[in-house]
Structure 1
Amino acid sequence: MPHSAAPGPNTGTAGETVLNVVGVHLYLEDGQGRVLLGLRHPDSAYAGNVHHLLAGHCEQESAVSCLVREAEEEAGLLIDPADVEFAYAIHLVDEPGTQPRIQLVFRARRWKGTPELREPDRCVSWGWWHPDALPTPIVPYARAAIEGIRAGRTYAEIGWT
């Protein structure tokens, strides 16, 4: 049953509480310090023809379990949960009035496999990019996360007015 509240920053127009979507993202560096990014399919519902971190939404599972599942489903990468560490969080509103999102970024210290296209309807290529020469276009919050991680920060808020 929805929780009623007075209209405010966390409520919709009818006073209904607006819950945050939880996304997970993989920050993966190769031995040369390059970051793995995928080019999203042109017909993607979100960010078509734009580079992004490997990502997914939590589906009645822990964030790390989601990350491990998505890495295998999307790119054929095998990651042991013990090799995963929290790296960055972004609390984001893409556009005013849209559902807020918590984007959790995790770093994998080790993994098995070479990135391969497992969901070609969502991602058309994987590539390794030096953080000082990221491709364009790139999802803005992915760029913010990469820059934040490199600067030693762990949190940002984007799109809140």
Structure 2
Amino acid sequence: MIYNGSGEYLPHLRDDIPGIWEPGSWSLLGGGREAGDRSLEETVRRELWEEAGLDIPDLVPFAVEQALGNDGTTVPIHIFAAHWAGDPATLDLTEGVMLRWFRPELVSRLRMTPSTRELVRRHAELLQADSPGIAPPTAAGAATEARRPRTSSALARGGRTALNGIGVHLYVENADGKVLLGLRHPNSAYAASTWHFLAGHCEQESALSCLVREADEEAGLLIEPGDVELAHVVHLVDTPGGQPRMQMVFRARRWSGTPEIREPDKCTRWGWWHPDDLPSQTVPYTRTAIQGIRASRRYTEMGWS
């Protein structure tokens, strides 16, 4: 479910072909999980790219709906919400007829399944609930004005917990006092063509175990957990309405190996940079964390105002 800063939604007009899901209807971009998909979020990212050439950095889980499949069975549909402000006419659409922005009150007039229309209504209400200055929903239940939500506060008012992603990052300096950064691949879902720490997301593992694993997998660096200390934490909301993230930066006092490109689809180059001369295209919270470490500061908040 894609929306923009004006409170419009971007449904997909499907081909009117018998036998496909919701033929000739306005629906959401998406598709089924394939064997190579490591997560449902990866499924969504793949489908967005395959169907429309869309690469959206932040996808926020929104709902799980039960839908009736073509064979009569009940299928769980995981819905993600994403903010995008582009022109759909510029997209390379490979399936369906068109993508078009609609105000919520116009969505109710489209040929669309009631469950999809209800998803839009609920999301629009969440926007309105988190933005008191926005006009209330119309009689049909659609918000007449909306802007991008600050999801964490909206959920908090509803008595629910907003889950925070946990990222781990490696801070190492060479003998010249330069910091190791990697240039992310131009097609990366996050921070494409930008310099960033060696980093990863915690799976079912401790933060230190994640750091040791990622250092080896991404760059061939061997690190002992006892040679690592927590140097800085950035509590981040990098886009309004995005998932809150706790970015933990660990400093390795010792390591072995020479940085090498082991995951070329993620990182195309490793480089050593002096903290006073970082490249202009550096991830903002990476730059902030480096500054914090040099100032012996342990914690920074970004994006919460």
* TM-score (ref. length: structure 1): 0.92
Q: Is the 8 A contact 1:28 1:35 kept in 2?
A: yes
Quick one: which amino acid aligns to residue 71 of structure 1? A
Deviation of 1:18 (Å): 1.4
**Bigger proportion of residues as strand:** 1
Equivalent residue, structure 2, for 1:111: 255
Q: Is the 8 A contact 1:24 1:106 kept in 2?
A: yes
Distance in 1, matches of 2:191 and 2:239, equals 13
Quick one: which amino acid aligns to residue 241 of structure 2? G
Identity value in percent = 66
The within-5 A match list for 1:69-80 is 69-80=213-224
Equivalent residue, structure 2, for 1:4: none
Please identify the structure whose Cα radius of gyration is greater: 2
Equivalent residue, structure 2, for 1:24: 168
Question: Aligned-pair RMSD on alpha carbons?
Answer: 1.8
Q: Specify which of 222, 235, 259 is matched with residue 91 of structure 1.
A: 235
Deviation of 1:11 (Å): 1.7
Q: Is the 8 A contact 1:78 1:111 kept in 2?
A: yes
Q: Which runs of 4+ in 1 moved over 6 A?
A: none
State the SS of the aligned residue for 1:47.
coil
Equivalent residue, structure 2, for 1:149: 293
What's the CA shift string for 1:25-68, capped at 9, x where partnerless? 00010011000000000000000000000000000111011000
Distance in 2, matches of 1:148 and 1:20, equals 22
1:9 aligns with 2:9: no
Distance in 2, matches of 1:113 and 1:78, equals 6
Distance verdict in 2 for CA 1:81–1:135, change over 3 Å: same
Gaps of 5+ in 2: 1-129, 131-151
1:43 aligns with 2:204: no
Gaps of 5+ in 1: 1-6
Deviation of 1:110 (Å): 0.4
Distance in 1, matches of 2:182 and 2:286, equals 11
Quick one: which amino acid aligns to residue 134 of structure 1? L
Distance in 1, matches of 2:263 and 2:157, equals 37
State the SS of the aligned residue for 1:78.
coil
- Return the structure number with greater relative CO, CA threshold 8 A, min gap 6: 1
